[in-house]
Amino acid sequence: MTLLQDTRTVTQDSAFTLYGLSFRSRLMLGTSQYPSPAILAEAARASGAEILTVSLRRESARLKEGQDFWRLIRDIGARVLPNTAGCYSVKEAVTTAQMAREVFSTPWVKLEVIGEADTLQPDVFGLVEAARILSADGFEVFPYTTEDLVVAERLLEAGCKVLMPWGAPIGSGKGLNNMFGLRALRAHFPEIPLIVDAGVGVPSHAAAAMELGYDGVLLNTAIAKAGDPAAMARAFGQAIEAGRAAFLAGPMAPRDMAAPSTPVVGRAVLT
C-alpha cells in the first residue's frame, strides 16, 4: 500500500496550462482535410481534444461555406486556436491575426510565417517580428517555430508564453526529425509550455514527444488522412496519455551495451 501511494505521489501530473487556461487533454487537433464534416466531428470527439485549430479563408456570398463550418465547430464545443497558415510576410500574418481575433472572439493565435514553400518551414525572422507586434497588441501568441534555441529565446522576449516547435515539415508524417534539438529545447526552457506542432505521423511519434517531457502535441493530417480518422484519433489520445505518464514515471537511462535483467548470481552451473 505504501508503495502504491509513493508511486501516485511521483506520477502526480501538473496542469496543462496555456495562457492561464488549464486543459485536461494534451492533444490539440487540426480541423482540415477530413473526408466529411461528420467525420471531423466524430474524430474531434474521439480524440478528447479541447483545442481545435481553425483558419480564415475567402468567403463566397453565395455559398457561405464558412458559416456552416463555424456552426459545426461550435457544436463540437472545443476552444479554437485560429492560425495564420499560408502567410509568407509579417504584414499578412498580423492582418490575418487581427481578422481572426474579431471573427473567433479570442486573443489566441497560432502564428505561422512561412519562409519556404517546399518545406513550409517558418521564416523565424518574420515570426519573431510578428510575435512582437501581436503580443504588444494583446494577442496570446502560439508561434509555429523550429527547435532553434536562439529563436526560442527571441520569441519569449517578444512576449510568447508558449512555444510550438515542429517535429518535421507540415503534413510529412516523418515524426521527430531532431530528437537532440527537441530535448535541448525542453532542457533549456523547463517552465515554458512546449508543444510539438507538425510532422507527426503515427501515435508512437506523439508518445515520443511526450516522453521527452513535451507538454502537448498538435496534429492534423495524421488523423484526417487515416483510414478511420476517429479510431486514429482515439489511438493518438491514448499514445499522448501513455507518453505523458511515461515521462512522469521517469524513463530509464539508455546504455550502449547489454545488461542482464535476470540476476547473474545464483545461476546453476550446468556444464
Summarize as ranges the residues that interact with other proteins (CB under 8 A).
Answer: 30-34, 40, 53-62, 64-67, 69-70, 73, 82-83, 85, 91, 95, 98-100, 102-104, 170-171, 198, 220-221
CB 21 to other proteins: min, Å: 20
**Are the beta carbons of 185 and 151 closer than 8 angstroms?**
no
Residue 257: partners with Cβ closer than 8 Å, 6 or more residues away = none
In Å, how far are 213, 223, 251, 258, 259 from 254, measured between CA atoms?
16, 31, 9, 10, 11
Catalytic residue of the set 91, 110, 161, 225:
110
CB 22 to other proteins: min, Å: 24
Backbone angles phi, psi at 249, to 5 degrees: -75, -15
C-alpha neighbours within 13 Å on the C-beta side of residue 97:
29
CB 243 to other proteins: min, Å: 21
Q: Which is nearer to other proteins, 31 or 145 (CB)?
A: 31
Reply yes or no on whether 161 is catalytic.
no
DSSP 13-31: PPPEEETTEEES--EEEE-
Q: Which is nearer to other proteins, 52 or 247 (CB)?
A: 52
CB 220 to other proteins: min, Å: 4
Q: Which is nearer to other proteins, 94 or 124 (CB)?
A: 94
CB 100 to other proteins: min, Å: 7
Residue 199: partners with Cβ closer than 8 Å, 6 or more residues away = 166, 167, 168, 169, 170, 172, 173, 174, 175, 176, 177, 205
The 3-state DSSP class for residue 159 equals coil
- Could you give the CA distance from residue 158 to residue 124 in angstroms, rounded to a whole number? 12
- Could you give the CA distance from residue 217 to residue 200 in angstroms, rounded to a whole number? 9
Q: Which is nearer to other proteins, 165 or 247 (CB)?
A: 165
Q: Which is nearer to other proteins, 8 or 62 (CB)?
A: 62
Catalytic positions are 110
